[in-house]
Structure formats: C-alpha cells, structure tokens
C-alpha cells in the first residue's frame, strides 16, 4: 500500500492495479475521513444532513465502473454522492464550492492512455488534499474492511446533477473580459472531457471554431490527439488559416497552443504572456509568477529582463499551488500547459487558460507568434526511461557517477534534471544548455546507464 497516492491522486491500469475493490475501499475510507472531520474545510452539504461529495469523470471506458465502485464505498460510510457526469477536473473543483459540497472526487488519468485511470480527491475548499491528509487516508484504506458501516436511514445516496456541466461552462464564459468575434480558432478536445464544452464556450463568445477530436468513444481519449499529440491540431491551424489552435488533455486541466504558423506555444510561453497581461491590469501581485524546475531557461531570462519575479518548485501542480498560496502569487503553472489563475480557480483549468490566451490575442490585435517571441527557448531535451522501480533509481553508484560527470560538463552553462514521474513508472531525464549535440550526447549517456541498472528489460 506504500505510495498509493502519487502527485495526482491514485493512478493505475484500470481493472489491473486500479480495480473496483480498491475504488470501493477508497470510497469507504474517504467517507469515514469526511464524517470524522479530518478533511479540509467543508461546505454547507447541499441541503443534506449527511456529508456530500461531488463526483465527476472523464470519458474513459473504465470511468463508470470506478466511479460507481468508489461511490458505493462512499454511500456505505454514510456519505452522499453528487454525480456530475463527464466534466473537466477544474469543473468538479468549481462545483464543490458552487454547490457547497464537503469535497470532491475526480475519476480520471488526465493525459494517460485510455487503459489507465485514476482517483483524485479534492477538499471542501476546492484544493487537492494535502500530503498529510493523503497519508492518513492511506492508513485508513489499508484496513477499510474494518471501518464502521452506516445502517438503516444513515446510508448515503446518489444524486444526479445534470445541470452542473452547463453551469460550469457558463461560469467560464463569463470570465472573459471581451468577446472573441473575428478570431479563427482550432480546438483539439483530445476526445476527453473538453469535448462537450470547448466549442460552446469559444463559439458562444463569437469566435469561429474548428473542433477536432471531440467524439469520445471510451478508448480514443488522448489517442494521437490533444496536448500530448498536437500534430494534427498544428496541421489544421495552417490548413484552415486560423489565428491559433488550442489542445486540451483528457481531463481538460491542461492546455497547449500553437500559433498561426503551427509552431507550438507551451506553458513557458503562456506564463510569460499571462504575467505581462495581468501586470498591465495591475493584478500581478509583486510581479510574481510560479513555475517548476522543468521550466525552460528562456522563460527565466525573459522574466529577469522584463522585471518579473519567477520562483521554481518541484514538478507537479500541487507544489506550484503551495508556493502560490504561501507567497501570494496569483499566477503559476507548468511547461505542460497546466496553468493556475488563483483569481479564477483552485486548480489548473484548460478552458480558462485558452480563454485568457484568446483575450490577449484579440485585445492586442497582434499575432500569437509575435506575442510569444519574447521567450526565446533554449535547447532542452527530455527522455523517459521505463524502469522496474522508480523509487530506487538513485540508489545505484553507477547512476550517481554518470550524473556527476554530466553535470560537470554543463557546469555554468546548463543543467541536468533527473526525477521519477509522479504518475507513471518512468524516470524523466532532462538536459538544458546551449549546444544541442552536446545535450543529446549527455542524455544518451545517462539513459544508457539507467537502462542497464534499473531499466524495464
């Protein structure tokens, strides 16, 4: 049971490691946890005497199976479930606060393939559970069968809230400070949670939209589409002569873009543009933005040259958010396109990210390629290595020696970053510096040593 919770909830292959029985136990433990007041601040219970958890999912074929398994465990503990249906992860966080729920649960594996799934728990304040709360939940899940069961009229029930999706879309639309008439936008919905919402939001504000990958069938989520595979979006933007494209991931908490020429615009570019946009409106607290150790050196240089204060955290939006809350920053995010506007949401929201980008292009009357040009990206290479155990990779002396050698080569000119994935059994190796060939050589050297000593053969 060690390491059940990763950086983004409980992840695993559906019906293999993430089985219905585990989902049931998580529901029972979460229900007990909520009833005993050990979670973060709760809402007003949506008119029920029993605690209420808002539950939503993405479009994976395993979503309903895991959702109902989790909810049955929840009900068994005497907690009600407010079923929201298919909804972006940020929509579920919004619904918790909008409907006064005591917490939330998202059934999604975000950008992972369809055969994976996950269970992410959210507190009554709309934020992810803390590390301490997840640790206490893990202890409860270990012995879930011994937890007390509700009886008689104390059993929890399921209630369906079909209007939640439309209400969330209306909330996002009203965040726009300007209409988008005249803009031509390509929207890649990744056959995921964005499929039912993106077109209505952007077209409703006047944009002319071309929507692709918006026909989910349970197994095509993230399949050669969306933010992890934006190539078709890029081609479509050029073909349609659009102003830009937006690509979401499976649960629509991330958004990447491409400019009118089909060139990718990632989270580093967007964070800089968003920071300047907020500063121009007097809304960027202490000219501060938060990102992670994966952010490109080009973003750091652009921030320094333009009077913006950039802070780096460990990889993961939870760590970005922690730093934002601690420092008072209103903007944070990751290179992957997971952007947090704390004035709008408690988590990253791909719809909001795309909407703010559209506003900037519209109001500036400039091309996205020009707006993004202030961040001159430095060569950066990232390679993923499949390993037998991502928690022991740094215990090998040969790996440590190899890293020390590579770091010495780049000393003062670049950096090496090696870290385990928070959601998959991978080691991510990143090198950044001025010379592409040199970086490739160093990456290949490190990857080779990792594969020999701890690779999945």
The helices-and-strands tally (H runs, E runs) of the chain is 14, 18
The kind and range of the H/E element at 144 are none
Q: Please give the DSSP secondary-structure letter assigned to residue 153.
A: G
Q: Are 88 and 193 in contact (CB under 8 A)?
A: yes
CA–CA distance, 289 with 342 (Å, rounded to integer): 11
CA–CA distance, 213 with 252 (Å, rounded to integer): 13
Strand partners, 260: none
State residue 347 phi and psi, 5-degree precision: -145, 175
Token pair recorded at residue 363: 């109001």
Strands (E), 402-450: 415-420, 426-432
CA–CA distance, 243 with 141 (Å, rounded to integer): 49
How many degrees, rounded to 5, is the angle at CA 299 between CA 298 and CA 302?
85
State residue 253 phi and psi, 5-degree precision: -95, -5
CA–CA distance, 242 with 116 (Å, rounded to integer): 34
Q: Are 218 and 60 in contact (CB under 8 A)?
A: yes
Sheet of strand 426-432, all strands in order from the earlier edge strand to the far edge:
380-386, 426-432, 415-420
Residue with tokens 């559209």: 358
**437: exposed, middle or buried (Cβ count in 10 Å: 0-12, 13-18, 19+):** exposed
Mark whether 110 is an active-site residue: yes
Cα separations in angstroms, 1 against 38, 137, 152, 235, 327: 21, 11, 32, 45, 34
Strand partners, 341: 331
CA–CA distance, 194 with 109 (Å, rounded to integer): 14
Q: Are 238 and 231 in contact (CB under 8 A)?
A: no
CA–CA distance, 142 with 1 (Å, rounded to integer): 7
Tell me the pairing of strands 184-188 and 244-248: parallel
Q: Please give the DSSP secondary-structure letter assigned to residue 79.
A: -
Catalytic residue among 39, 76, 77, 110: 110
Residues 6+ apart with CB under 8 A from 231: none
Catalytic residues: 110
């Amino acid at each position: 049971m060690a390491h059940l919770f990763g950086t983004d909830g409980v992840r695993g292959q559906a019906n293999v490691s993430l089985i219905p029985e585990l989902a049931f136990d998580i529901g029972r433990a979460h229900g007990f946890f909520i009833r005993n007041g050990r979670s973060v601040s709760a809402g007003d219970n949506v008119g029920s005497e029993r605690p209420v958890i808002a539950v939503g999912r993405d479009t994976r074929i395993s979503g309903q199976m895991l959702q109902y398994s989790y909810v049955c465990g929840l009900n068994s503990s005497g907690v009600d479930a407010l079923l929201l249906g298919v909804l972006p992860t940020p929509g579920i966080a919004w619904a918790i606060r909008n409907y006064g729920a005591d917490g939330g649960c998202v059934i999604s594996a975000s950008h992972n393939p369809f055969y994976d799934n996950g269970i992410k728990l959210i507190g009554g304040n709309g934020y992810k559970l803390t590390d301490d709360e997840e640790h206490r939940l893990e202890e409860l899940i270990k012995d879930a069968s011994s937890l007390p069961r509700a009886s008689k009229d104390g059993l929890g029930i399921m209630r369906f809230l079909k209007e939640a999706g439309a209400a969330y879309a209306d909330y996002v639309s009203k965040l726009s400070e300007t209409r988008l008439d005249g803009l031509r936008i390509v929207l890649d919905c990744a056959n995921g949670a964005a499929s039912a919402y993106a077109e209505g939001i952007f077209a409703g504000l006047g944009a002319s939209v071309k929507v692709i990958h918006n026909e989910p069938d349970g197994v095509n989520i993230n399949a050669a589409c969306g933010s992890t595979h934006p190539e078709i979006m890029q081609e479509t933007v050029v073909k349609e002569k659009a102003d830009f494209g937006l690509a979401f991931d499976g649960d629509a908490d991330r958004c990447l873009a491409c400019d009118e020429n089909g060139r990718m615009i990632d989270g580093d570019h967007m964070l800089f543009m968003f920071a300047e946009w907020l500063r121009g409106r007097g809304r960027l607290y202490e000219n501060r933005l938060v990102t992670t150790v994966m952010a490109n050196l080009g973003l750091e240089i652009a921030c320094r040259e333009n009077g913006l204060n950039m802070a780096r955290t460990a990889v993961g939006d939870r760590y970005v958010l922690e730093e934002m809350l601690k420092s008072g920053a209103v903007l944070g995010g990751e290179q992957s396109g997971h952007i947090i506007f704390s004035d709008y949401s408690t988590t990253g929201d791909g719809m909001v990210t795309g909407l703010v980008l559209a506003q900037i292009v519209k109001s500036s009357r400039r091309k996205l390629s020009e707006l993004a040009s202030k961040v001159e990206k430095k060569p950066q290479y990232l390679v993923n290595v499949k390993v037998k155990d991502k928690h022991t990779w740094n215990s090998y002396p040969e790996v440590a020696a190899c890293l020390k050698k590579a770091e010495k080569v780049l000393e003062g000119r670049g950096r090496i970053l090696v870290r385990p994935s928070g959601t998959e059994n991978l080691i991510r190796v990143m090198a950044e510096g001025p010379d592409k060939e040199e970086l490739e050589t160093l990456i290949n050297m490190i990857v080779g040593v990792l594969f020999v000593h701890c690779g999945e053969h």
